[in-house]
Structure 1
Amino acid sequence: MLKPLLSLTGGLIATMALSITQANPLPQGSISVAEVLRDRALESSDPYSIVESLTVEVGPRRAGTEGDRRAVAWAQKKMKELGFDRVYTEQIDVPRWVRGHAQAEVVAPFPQPLVVSSLGYGIATPEGGLTAEIVEFPNLEALLKAPADKVKGKIAFINKRMEKVRTGEGYGPAVQGRSKGMQAAAEKGAAALLLRSVGTDSDRFAHTGMMSIDGVETPVPALALSAPDANLLEAMLKRGKPVLVKLNVESERLNDGPSFNVVGEITGREKPEEVMIIGAHLDSWDEGTGALDDGAGVAIVMETARLISELPERPRRTLRVVLFGAEEIGLVGAKQYVESHLDELDNIVAVSESDFGAGKVWRFDTRLPESKFDIADQMMQLLAPLGIERGNNKSYGGPDSSVFVARGVPAFGLYQNGMDYFDYHHTPNDTLDKVDPEKLRQNVAAWVVMSFLTTEMEGDLGRVPTSAE
């Protein structure tokens, strides 16, 4: 199956030490193997079958649910089928929540239904629902500055539009309303919160997502509103009449329960204790099938490891794939992983995560000491033919990876084109038909270059400044 690779690597890996020069820290032998891996990924890898399996056989998998348990079992079985040397789980503790129905309607002055979704871990309305007047705010800051008497007893409506760019940079400013809006509304005595969905689409789907709930003494119901319905409320309010909305929501917070990080390893031949971590998150929200967020990422990193496992020799150090649990509700799996492995962090040479859908990779970012930039430059020799450009040295490697970077672990970031990612993010529309197999293979080609060269290089990447430094 891998005859071209066998003939290439047999002699090259054996002579790597002879090829090392100060100007080129990655030996030519390693570069050549990575090039073959890259081209094989483009021609014959099949990450699509992995995400197809996950979305069809498991589907929605919110942390702490039955779907989550099925996903953990699926991931272990799939890793073993793909040829990982070692597969295991690590238990994490997660808050649990039951989503019930969520209904909203304008009752005056122009009665009609609204499309909404409960925000994660929100509370129910009183039995029979609640009806209150809407008070609109252009963003979270305006709500925070508003006098309490303007908000008390009303439904606070944060009407912040998200900017659409391929980097996804519009998400940060917009998501503040989802993260902190309920707390701000509750502290001012609001009856509830309505939020223009944090998304870039014009479809009549609401985008769910997590919000801050810790330390909120008197939480209130909180719902995301589809973009067309946010436009509708906006237009009604411009007519100068009070707009009354009725909300009827069921939900229930449960006791904390178990979930798991799922880990698979390709064990290093010389330095097995030294590790590169490539990750994705296994959990998803519960209204779609989590194909883009983050089924595609799961497929990319698992297929990357599979290709490397088929080399005639294992790489010099260990490649560890971590499918983090409970990312969607606050990076729970990553945080608990780091806390459980504090004494091993110095052996993690680098970290990276795929968690931005299935668009083509177009930019390569790093978080490395300046003395190691030449390694990234050599990687770029193989990434450039994939249409990838060199980015900056400010990468956090992905959401879960950021927890490692905060402890000084170097990171790589392969940025995907996210122009349409937030059209589907956290909606019922996050489904398999949004995944393009060809684009997924381009991702794997980039990941296998970065992952193989990092696990095969002789030296390490040092440490990066932490948030405390």
Structure 2
Amino acid sequence: MKFIRIILLSSALLSFTVMSSQDTTALIDAMVKEANENSQLERLAHEMLDVIGPRLVGTPQMKKAHDWAVSTFKSWDVDVRNEKWGEWRGWERGITHIDMLEPRVQTLQGMQLAWNPSTGSKGVKAEVITLPNKIIDSMDFQKWLPSVKGKLVMVSMKQPTGRPDYNWEEFATEESFEKMKSEREKQTEEWRQNIRNTGYNSRSIIGALEEAGAVGIISCNWSRGFGVNKIFSARTKAIPTVDVELEDYTMLYRLAEYGDKPVVKIVAESKELGRVPTFNTIAELKGTEKPNEYIVLSAHFDSWDGATGATDNGTGSLVMLEAMRLLKKFYPNPKRTILVGLWGSEEQGLNGSRAFVEDHPEVVDGLQALFNQDNGTGRVVRISGGGFLNSYDYISRWLYPVPEDIKKHIETDFPGMPGGGGSDYASFLAMGAPAFNLSALNWSYWNYTWHTNRDTYDKIVFDDVRSNAILTAILAYMASEDPEKSSRQKIVLPINPRTGEQRSWPSPRSPQRDGMKN
């Protein structure tokens, strides 16, 4: 594979038949001007993130988001529908209060996990204990297990430092930094072995503690940054599970270790809503010449709910909304049909997009190109050919008229390799359809916003998101206008050096359509 800067493609493209007419130039200039001078991104972000909030599958907020997207597209006179693809466990987050009452009073920073059983308004109050430091084997653990009855149990390792590694690199001596990392690695392995010695793993031990009479679980899924924890789902059936931020979690742990018998009260209210429908929002500009060929603008609409899902994947959804607004205003009668897919339940396994692929084989068969965005707020810096042998030819044509200040940051990889399943483009790619991920600059995505309690509006870099909307709108326009159908010829995949066997193209997977089975 060869990496080529888009800025260097101009000379190679001279031999192509590129759509560079005055009409095309004028249309693209108009879209760029509109995007820069009349952007709707900030308003849309406020409505989606501040007003509606997080979009956890099965919650009323997820349904409100789908309905809001329909209303928004309709306000631009774009045909749109919410398509049901399955059902999920309905749940609504309520108030969380976590207060230490002994040995002193302090409100702790934390929150209940998704699908957490409600404590009701009275809550639960109990002493906090830790798992034993040295568990010999499963029989030893079973002897200790009855001691959890009536207690709140801490189930995460006490981190040795709350400072991220980059902070140590800047200020610590090299010897001190290396010592900390070595001790942390040793402590982590000892913790993992201790869990293995129980006869359970870090997930299944939760059920054992609940069955033994624990009245609640306290965890800390630190994201290796200041003030950030990752927030996922509860695994308890009837007792609360709360994630407490590292600073308070490690304080509680020390109090329990030193025998100070901390007492905590947890109020974690929530509502079970039974079985609820789940949706994808599909917006459409019908093709005038080739209506059975498709360009799909793809982003997952759902999020975890530790915060408001701003960069995962509010920003990707905003890009597709704004791109469609630009296309409707300046290119309302495309040659090929242009769809926007705002998918549900990506976070539980690409379920919305996998369902769409199963339910709409005509779109997969007629796909000219899919453009997907789902990795934070940054400007697009990489586009791969996804393992399609001739992807250089058509993607280069489509990128040609993109403004230089946008494409100069983009590195391409032709023909690239097929993605294995990290985001919704993989649902289409597995079917052999030309689906491409618009990979973005990470802006500390993995530590600070991906699935965390800090993924909020203020983390959005609107200049980068605006550039991505312009890029996406131009790619959709060029792919629609292209006189040629994009080739689906695949590369011969290389040998996997670990197995000595030839790599295989990703296989399609069916969605989970019944979330009540979780």
TM superposition score category, shorter chain reference:
0.7 to 0.9
Contact in 2 for aligned 1:106/1:243 (Cα 8 Å)? no
* Deviation at residue 48 of structure 1 after TM alignment: 2.4
- The runs of 4+ residues in structure 1 deviating greater than 6 Å are 107-111, 160-165
Residue 130 and residue 232 in structure 1: after superposition, are their counterparts in 2 closer, same or farther (change >3 A)? closer
Find the aligned partners of 1:181 and 1:275 in 2 and give their Cα distance. 46
Per the alignment, residue 14 of structure 1 pairs with none
Find the aligned partners of 1:159 and 1:407 in 2 and give their Cα distance. 45
Contact in 1 for aligned 2:231/2:453 (Cα 8 Å)? no
Is 1:452 the equivalent of 2:448? no
Find the aligned partners of 1:310 and 1:301 in 2 and give their Cα distance. 14
* Count of matched residue pairs: 426
Q: Which runs of 5+ in 2 are unaligned?
A: 1-12, 167-187, 193-199, 491-503, 509-518
What CA deviation, in whole Å up to 9, does each residue of 1:40-88 have, x standing for no partner? 365335132322333355344443333333322221121122232x211
Contact in 2 for aligned 1:396/1:411 (Cα 8 Å)? no
1:67 maps to amino acid: Q
Per the alignment, residue 44 of structure 1 pairs with 37
Contact in 1 for aligned 2:368/2:485 (Cα 8 Å)? no
Q: Normalising to structure 2: TM-score of the pair? A: 0.68
Equivalent residue for 2:130, pick from 131, 134, 142: 134
Residue 390 and residue 383 in structure 1: after superposition, are their counterparts in 2 closer, same or farther (change >3 A)? farther
Q: Which runs of 5+ in 1 are unaligned?
A: 1-20, 166-173
Is 1:438 the equivalent of 2:477? no
* Deviation at residue 369 of structure 1 after TM alignment: 0.9
Find the aligned partners of 1:75 and 1:391 in 2 and give their Cα distance. 32
Contact in 1 for aligned 2:44/2:318 (Cα 8 Å)? yes
Contact in 2 for aligned 1:125/1:247 (Cα 8 Å)? no
Is 1:310 the equivalent of 2:329? yes
What CA deviation, in whole Å up to 9, does each residue of 1:130-189 have, x standing for no partner? 54422389xxxx99x985744844532146799899xxxxxxxx9xx9xx9763323554
Is 1:222 the equivalent of 2:241? yes
Residue 198 and residue 320 in structure 1: after superposition, are their counterparts in 2 closer, same or farther (change >3 A)? farther
Contact in 2 for aligned 1:362/1:389 (Cα 8 Å)? yes
> Secondary structure at 2:124's aligned position in 1?
coil
Identity, % of aligned positions: 22
Contact in 1 for aligned 2:295/2:479 (Cα 8 Å)? yes
Contact in 1 for aligned 2:103/2:263 (Cα 8 Å)? no
Per the alignment, residue 494 of structure 2 pairs with none
> Secondary structure at 1:91's aligned position in 2?
strand
Per the alignment, residue 416 of structure 1 pairs with 440
Equivalent residue for 2:409, pick from 370, 381, 388: 388
Which structure's CA Rg is the greater one? 2
1:361-376 pair list within 5 angstroms = 361-376=380-395
1:121-160 pair list within 5 angstroms = 121-124=115-118, 128-135=124-131, 147=138, 149-150=140-141, 152=145, 153=148, 154-158=153-157
Find the aligned partners of 2:131 and 2:231 in 1 and give their Cα distance. 21
Per the alignment, residue 55 of structure 1 pairs with 49
Per the alignment, residue 231 of structure 2 pairs with 208
Residue 250 and residue 87 in structure 1: after superposition, are their counterparts in 2 closer, same or farther (change >3 A)? closer
> Secondary structure at 1:24's aligned position in 2?
coil
What CA deviation, in whole Å up to 9, does each residue of 1:331-361 have, x standing for no partner? 4422332332245422233323333333322
2:37 maps to amino acid: S
1:346 maps to amino acid: D
Find the aligned partners of 1:96 and 1:59 in 2 and give their Cα distance. 16
Q: After superposing the two structures, state which structure 1 stretch, 46-55 or 314-323, moved more.
A: 46-55
Find the aligned partners of 2:253 and 2:403 in 1 and give their Cα distance. 46
Is 1:340 the equivalent of 2:359? yes
Per the alignment, residue 183 of structure 2 pairs with none
